[in-house]
Amino acid sequence: MIGYLRAIFEIASNTFKETVRNNVLYLVLFFVIALIILSVFVADWSVFARIQVMEDFGLATMSLSGLLLAVFIGVGMLGREISQKTVYHVITKPVSRTQFVCGKFAGLLTTLLINYFVMSVIFLGTLKYLGGAIHVSLIYAILLIWAEMSLVISASIFFSTLTTPMLASIFSLAFYIAGHLNDLLSIKFVEAKGSLYPALLKAIYFILPNLEHFNVRDNIVYGITLPVSYYSYAILYGILYTALFLTLSCVLFSKKDL
Amino acid sequence: MCAVFQKGPLVKRAAWHVPLLTGLCVAALWLTLLNTQNRLTAIRSKLWAPSSMSLIPQSEKIRPYLLGFHTVYADYLWLRTTIYFGSHFITDQQYKWLVHMVDLVTKLNPNFYPAYEFAGLMLPDICKDPDAARVILERGVSSTVERKWKLYYYLGMIYYRYYDDRQTAASYIARAAAQPNSPGYKLAGVAATLFKKAGAPEEGRMFLEALYVASENPEVKRYILGKLQGFSNSR
Amino acid sequence: MSFPAIEFKNVYKNYRKHFWSRQVAAVVNSSFAVEKNTVTGFIGPNGAGKTTSIKMLLGLIRPTSGTVRINGSDPLLPSARKGVSFLSERPYFYEHLSVRETLRFAHGLGQGYAKSGDADIGQALNAVELSGAADAKVKDLSKGMQQRLSMAQALLGNSDIFILDEPMSGLDPLGRRLFREILLALAQEGKTIFFSTHILDDVESVCSHVVVLSKGRLEYQGQLSQLLSQGQGGTDCVVIGLGDSEKKTLASMGCVVTKRTDGKDIIEIPAGKDPRQCQQYLCEKGLFCESMVKRTASLEEIIYKRK
């Protein structure tokens, strides 16, 4: 068991080094920080109070950065390994493909969590500097964004085992959009007539994750507190979907001819 | 290399229990996910929050910063308006920002007809704000928006229903009748009736006579003649 | 129970390049075995299926049918790759790592990183004469240096089986000589070496056994000496002062006499004929045989002749 985990740790460390030395990471971080600072000016234009706008805008930016990181780094990670054949360096050792995928994910997630931690500190710092209060629901909202990001990253890794990096990027983007629009399906299949169409919509609703469960910005902006159980369930939801996508990725990758 | 597909003995299959265990794990994960999803949906539906208004600007002063995309932004704003209206209609029926949003759409895109129609039909009733509707519609009639006759008509109805000013209502409806693509003589009849009820029958009669002379349609002429006879009978 | 180090049994591999393309047979009914403690050359022209076979051996691809075994185990299992080192045709390393980091990573995957790993890494770098570039980034290395790095990571972990896919490619003559010495040293230690190459001189100088593939099919497997003996083409004898009558007699004995540019005659004694018969005749005639050389074909000639 220790040996099994040690190989995952080695791959994760290597992936961490690779991601940290990737310029795209810093570009996205810079972009997000710029947007968080820009939100101060956007806040002055809005009908809402400045702090509320900053909270909303800052959280939205962090959520979007997860998508950017998934598309630019997550998809390329596995796809590039396969196309450039650096995967041979690892798979020809006594390391299983499952260990490889898990190690890659763990390394990428660690880098991105550190990245998000930096973003969160800057976001909360800016908010505090401008007179806002750092209430616990903000922290919960950030945790949900981390859970969402982890899910999106695992989905992008899943897509990269299926197809080329270009198509996997498109699928990841479509997945993110569809996940956030999934809420509308629950309305649609109640209204829809017939038996096949509502059943199809219902199937799509339950297969695709509902990423709106991680979006609590409206509740924060309007001061409507959600119970702690909601946050626990949402984080569990994110972890379960991540585990599901990783399992499917491992299964697909183990069948793949390299 | 020749493209020949060669058949050979089957490769030894992997142990059967591995795919079975994997399938069971995936199924268990899935069921737990469905359960969690249902719980989340249940909690959220009880603690519903309206959609955030953070990206709704205070005024049209944002226009220069939209870099020429003010009409696109107006379209986005209109979508948000309809969603805002719909979500509040089925919940609390409080429309705090509705007037502001409709007003902003028409300021950013003065030719955006649906916003004017919404203002004329819905704002006086649901927001209890005929003044706001009037201001927005008056902005519309001075622009180059299509179906302008409807804007005049809505203005006429606002003055009639909410301000009890039949003369002004009649003059707006008369202007609606004179617009291209309007129902024409039917509106003229309404205008004339309103003039009469406002105590200015002469104005109504003059309006109908001018319309009679201008029209070349015998049906229209017959209708207007009938209305004019009504004016004569009531003298 | 003893089993070969590498075994292919009725292996077929078909694949499609694209979704709409037809299936192509890369390996067709290949069956051979590589015994332990041997150095086996895996040779064949381009597109023979060598790399495909090596990939199946390492679990990178699955055979369409048939059985592949390495150390008696299915190569798809990670445990089968314990004690196996691989050197790929082209070096596929992470460019963001340095040489030392690459080897630490390889060492960690093989047996888990330990402090003793640094000593092993130092030894491996010395063996391939790459110690001076230990802290250089992989992307800054030349092809030859990357190939040496490949060999260094293959030497880590004290493996028993070495699978090398064109190890000499990209190397200068000094590098090739170094690699040959490394292979010979490994062979002396009793390691099993299975390497594919296009450079047949290397096969002749290093290998004891050879496996020949062509168009996906096995052409020959066995000892190299046996294969080379197939190319033995008789004996050449250089003589001065052969007369016409002697030439006629030699021709009747089945020998062919040709004139060399320096005026000397060459008697080509055919394979299977005892050269002593010719030697005896020349002695009777008082003629002196300046040199007598066995005429053998090179491995390249033997292989091309088999087509």
**pLDDT per residue over C111-143, tens digit each?**
655 555 788 889 899 999 989 888 999 989 998
Q: Flag if B2 and C22 touch (Cβ within 8 Å).
A: no
Give A203→chain B minimum CA distance, Å: 12
> Which has more pLDDT, B16 or A85?
A85
Q: What is the pLDDT of residues B147-164, one digit of tens each?
A: 888 888 889 889 988 898
Q: What is the pLDDT of residue A215?
A: 87
CB A46 within 8 A of CB B57: yes
* Residue C212 burial (10 A CB sphere; 0-12, 13-18, 19+): buried
Q: What is the pLDDT of residue C115?
A: 54
Q: Of C167, C225, C226, whose CA–CA distance to C193 is shortest? A: C167
Whole-number percent of chain B with pLDDT over 90: 10
Whole-number percent of chain A with pLDDT over 90: 31
According to DSSP, the β-strands at C161-165 and C84-87 are parallel
For A46, the closest chain B residue by CA position comes to B57
Q: Which residues of B touch C26 (CB under 8 A)?
A: 1
Q: Of A58, A57, A69, A92, whose CA–CA distance to A19 is shortest? A: A69
For B30, the closest chain A residue by CA position comes to A244
**Is pLDDT of A41 > 80?**
no
Across the range A127-141, mean pLDDT stands at: 87
Cβ-based neighbours of B52, under 8 Å, separated by 6 or more: A48, A52, A56, A217, A218, A221, A222
Q: Which residues of C touch A3 (CB under 8 A)?
A: 112
Q: What is the pLDDT of residue B12?
A: 43
Under the banding of pLDDT at 50, 70 and 90, the label for residue A148 is very high
Under the banding of pLDDT at 50, 70 and 90, the label for residue B2 is very low
Q: What is the pLDDT of residue B136?
A: 93
Q: Which of C60, C81, C92 sits opposite A94 (nearest CB)?
A: C81
Q: Which residues of B touch A221 (CB under 8 A)?
A: 49, 52, 54
CB B97 within 8 A of CB B84: yes
User: Which value does ipTM take for this structure?
Assistant: 0.81
Q: Which of A206, A221, A243 sits opposite B54 (nearest CB)?
A: A221
Q: Flag if B5 and C14 touch (Cβ within 8 Å).
A: yes
Give C219→chain B minimum CA distance, Å: 15
Q: What is the pLDDT along chain C (307 residues), one digit of tens a residue?
A: 678 999 999 999 998 777 777 788 889 999 999 999 999 999 988 888 899 999 999 999 999 999 999 988 999 999 899 889 999 988 888 888 899 999 999 988 876 555 557 888 898 999 999 898 889 999 899 989 999 999 999 998 788 999 999 998 888 888 889 999 999 999 999 999 999 988 888 888 888 999 998 888 888 888 888 777 766 667 888 888 788 888 888 888 888 888 877 888 888 888 777 888 888 888 888 888 888 887 776 677 676 665 5
Give A10→chain C minimum CA distance, Å: 7
A190 touches chain B (CB under 8 A): no
pTM for this prediction: 0.75
Under the banding of pLDDT at 50, 70 and 90, the label for residue B188 is confident
Q: Flag if B25 and A186 touch (Cβ within 8 Å).
A: no
Cβ-based neighbours of A138, under 8 Å, separated by 6 or more: A55, A124, A127, A220
Q: Which residues of C touch A99 (CB under 8 A)?
A: 78
Q: If you count residue pairs, one on B and one on C, with CB atoms under 8 Å apart, how many are there?
A: 45
Average predicted confidence (pLDDT) for chain B: 80
